[in-house]
């Protein structure tokens, strides 16, 4: 099968062209580092099928700053012989984009120039003469607008004809002369420059960034909350109550009821309640990506990140970490410097992923119902601060005297396209549902079965002293007493244990163990009323939508009464409120969940990308730091009631943490040498 390759600078629309040609759905955005590895797709022309390779976005094939990305592209072009190389060019930045062309010609590769974003160039007052570009370079040229699909019929026709007969290839070109002949820049003030005057203002840029991040999570929590009850009611009726009715009617044993109705059905119901909030978060992030703002965000914090040894480009993997830590760790490959890559891998798990968000929403709604979004925002900020502090420590110790290097391409602002936004959102949300859903259902099944199983072999022992799960939880709970988790609050301990497998299953654990005991089954059961349940679910949307207005006009919900707050809380919330000593104790628990260890999937990727030594260092550091911070936050609250004991704990634990830090750093200096793996390309 004949093969095409697509190459170009970051943010030139290369991946969007790839998607248009092949139909492949892949993450796209206005920032570099999305496609680090080779991506393949199929292009069907009239009489043949072609394999299309999407190469990483690079400025040069010999770029030390881009590092791995440049090596991936150079290795492919050196070892493979594609029949045609499509070089994507951003029409708004044509002179800089052409810098890669002489390197491709020096390798003897047949090139088709694909000038993208012609609509944006026209809006910015930039003129690109395609005929003159064709004349000056001696290469075939096609103009397209990948976001709308304009020009792709001509592109496919050009590909088909060039595969039959490619004209003589020039040895090189003078890119400066080419740009001067075919590119006329608008020296007036463009729309992008007018917007950047405020977005990149020395005094306003950082407040705007913080405001955007705050609105991101406020919208996600409040808008998502409108639909949570709908999913909860509908899925509960279909997957919990219906199987329970069927099993009770058939006289099924209690263990089967616990497995099917409470385990499988309850897990599906729980996954469904995540969909609104997580979906809104991904939707907002897609809008920011498609508009071009995220590149500005990287620029805004570049100077601050340089102080901790990271380039502004490292902001991109960290932002990805808010969705999932696994791709965040993998995206660190885009960083050329080894120190920057290892530091990013080290701190990426401190970014609160979507799975942790579901835990924050569950616990936060129970203890901070009037200010849930503020508590969640505080946790996100705390994770960022811990990441910054950890990176600063690495810069001062293991990576002293290493300077950060960075090249950030800031594209023109774009009007976000609904098609792109929905595609990106659906890809992320469906991936989260499938990945998280399997784990949640599996863990909820196990927890329900183990919780139902008694130490004497009997069934139906949920939330009792006889439960096998109660025995396990009580055994481990004393370890967490210093952070306010009492002996009777063993469900919180079990949640921490299951969270090692996947953070999203913490919610399933807590919801199952804190839920009040089920009503004993009777001989008389009835099939759920689907019509009534659907009506109730639809009514909940309208009712919650009314509260949405208040959520934005009164974000702190100062006017909410305690009765209104309490009336909205399910039964498991009441049990959780009774077992935690206070709302502050619950917050300390969330702090520990935020920091204590990444999930097993992230651990596996970290081992592959950074090696066993760096992985062990990261996990040990996370456990020590999370335990120290959570326990000290709890003891700070005890300073007024028990100043001597609380102060002694704070001082003693801090001294022990410092000693552990010195020992770990000494060991790392001896052990990390020659332990960094070469990424498998």
- Residues contributing to the annotated binding site for Mg(2+): 19, 22-23
Could you tell me whether strands 183-184 and 127-128 are parallel, antiparallel, or unpaired per DSSP bridges?
Answer: antiparallel
The one-character DSSP state at 37 is: S
The one-character DSSP state at 464 is: S
Contact call for residues 11 and 57 (beta carbons, < 8 A): yes
Name residue 405's beta-bridge partners.
none
Contact call for residues 155 and 181 (beta carbons, < 8 A): no
Contact call for residues 86 and 5 (beta carbons, < 8 A): yes
Q: Which long-range contacts (CB under 8 A, 24 or more apart) does 518-527 make?
A: 518/262, 518/462, 521/248, 521/257, 525/244, 525/245, 525/248, 525/249, 526/245, 527/242, 527/245
The annotation places the binding site at 8-15, 19, 22-23, 33-37, 54-57, 116-119
Q: Write the burial class of residue 244 (CB in 10 Å: 0-12 exposed, 13-18 middle, 19+ buried).
A: buried
Q: Determine how many CB atoms are found less than 10 A away from the CB of residue 152.
A: 17
Query: What is the number of alpha carbons within 13 Å of residue 403 lying toward its C-beta?
Result: 3
The annotation places the binding site for GTP at 8-15, 33-37, 54-57, 116-119
- Which two structure tokens, joined as six digits, stand for 267? 């897990």
Cα–Cα dist 236/369, whole Å: 23
- Which two structure tokens, joined as six digits, stand for 568? 């909205």
CA distances from residue 679 to 68, 320, 345, 608 in whole angstroms, order as listed: 8, 20, 13, 8
- Tokens 């910054």 found at: 388
- Which residues neighbour 190 within 8 Å (Cβ) at sequence distance 6 or greater? 124, 125, 412
Q: Angle 583-595/354-367 helices, nearest 10 degrees?
A: 170
Could you tell me whether strands 111-116 and 84-90 are parallel, antiparallel, or unpaired per DSSP bridges?
Answer: parallel
Three-state secondary-structure class, residue 426: helix
Q: Which long-range contacts (CB under 8 A, 24 or more apart) does 523-527 make?
A: 525/244, 525/245, 525/248, 525/249, 526/245, 527/242, 527/245
Contact call for residues 599 and 325 (beta carbons, < 8 A): yes
- Which two structure tokens, joined as six digits, stand for 238? 């279909």
């Amino acid at each position: 099968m004949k093969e095409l390759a697509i190459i170009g600078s970051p943010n030139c629309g290369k991946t969007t062209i790839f998607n248009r040609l092949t139909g492949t759905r892949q993450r796209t955005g206005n920032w570099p580092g999305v496609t680090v590895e080779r991506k393949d797709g199929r292009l069907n022309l009239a009489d043949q099928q072609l394999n299309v390779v999407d190469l990483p976005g690079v400025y040069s094939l010999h770029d030390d700053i881009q590092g791995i990305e440049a090596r991936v592209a150079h290795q492919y072009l050196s070892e493979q012989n594609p029949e045609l190389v499509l070089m994507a060019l951003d029409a708004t930045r044509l002179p800089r984009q052409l810098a890669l062309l002489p390197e491709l010609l020096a390798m003897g590769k047949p090139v088709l120039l694909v000038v993208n974003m012609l609509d944006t160039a026209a809006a910015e007052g930039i003129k690109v003469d395609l005929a003159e570009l064709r004349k000056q370079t001696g290469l075939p040229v096609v103009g397209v607008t990948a976001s709308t699909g304009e020009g792709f019929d001509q592109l496919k026709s050009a590909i088909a004809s060039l595969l039959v007969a490619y004209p003589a290839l020039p040895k090189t070109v003078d890119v400066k002369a080419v740009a001067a002949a075919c590119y006329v820049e608008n020296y007036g003030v463009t729309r992008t420059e007018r917007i950047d005057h405020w977005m990149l203002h020395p005094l306003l840029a950082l407040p705007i960034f913080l405001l955007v991040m705050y609105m991101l999570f406020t919208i996600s929590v409040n808008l998502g909350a409108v639909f949570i009850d709908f999913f909860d009611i509908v899925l509960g009726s279909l997957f919990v109550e219906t199987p329970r009715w069927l099993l009770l009617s058939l006289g099924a044993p209690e263990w089967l009821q616990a497995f099917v109705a409470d385990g499988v059905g309850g897990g599906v119901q729980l996954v469904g309640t995540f969909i609104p909030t997580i979906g809104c978060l991904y939707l907002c992030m897609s809008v920011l990506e498609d508009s071009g703002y995220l590149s500005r965000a990287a620029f805004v914090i570049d100077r601050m990140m340089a102080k901790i040894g990271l380039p502004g480009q490292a902001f991109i993997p960290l932002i990805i970490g808010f969705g999932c830590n696994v791709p965040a760790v993998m995206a660190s490959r885009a960083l050329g410097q080894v120190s920057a890559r290892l530091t990013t891998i080290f701190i990426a798990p401190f970014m609160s992923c979507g799975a942790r968000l579901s835990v924050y929403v569950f616990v936060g709604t129970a203890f901070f119902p009037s200010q849930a979004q503020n508590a969640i925002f505080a946790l996100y900020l705390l994770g960022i601060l811990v990441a910054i502090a950890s990176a600063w420590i690495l810069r001062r110790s293991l990576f002293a005297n290493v300077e950060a290097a960075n090249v950030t391409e800031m594209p023109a602002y774009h009007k976000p396209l609904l098609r792109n936004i929905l595609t990106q959102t659906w890809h992320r949300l469906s991936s989260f549902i499938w990945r998280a859903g399997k784990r949640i259902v599996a863990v909820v099944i196990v927890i329900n079965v183990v919780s139902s199983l008694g130490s004497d072999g009997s069934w139906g022992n949920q939330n009792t002293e006889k439960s096998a799960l109660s025995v396990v939880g009580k055994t481990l709970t004393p370890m967490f007493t210093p952070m306010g988790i009492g002996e009777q609050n063993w469900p919180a301990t079990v949640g921490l244990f299951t969270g090692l497998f996947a953070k999203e299953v913490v919610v399933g654990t807590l919801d199952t163990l804190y839920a009040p005991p089920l009503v004993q089954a009777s001989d008389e059961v009835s099939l759920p009323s689907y019509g009534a349940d659907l009506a109730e679910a639809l009514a909940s949307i309208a009712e919650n939508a009314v509260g949405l207005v208040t959520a934005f006009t009164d974000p702190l919900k100062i006017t909410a009464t305690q009765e209104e707050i309490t009336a909205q809380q399910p039964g498991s919330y009441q049990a959780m409120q009774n077992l935690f000593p206070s709302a502050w104790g619950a917050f300390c628990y969330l702090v520990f969940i935020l920091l204590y260890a990444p999930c097993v999937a992230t651990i596996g990727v970290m081992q592959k990308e950074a090696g066993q030594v760096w992985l062990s260092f990261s996990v040990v550091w996370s456990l020590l730091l999370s335990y120290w911070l959570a326990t000290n936050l709890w003891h700070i609250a005890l300073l007024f009631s028990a100043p001597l004991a609380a102060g002694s704990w704070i001082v003693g634990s801090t001294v022990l943490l410092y000693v552990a830090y010195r020992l770990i750093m000494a060991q790392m200096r001896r052990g990390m040498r020659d332990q960094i793996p070469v990424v498998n390309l």
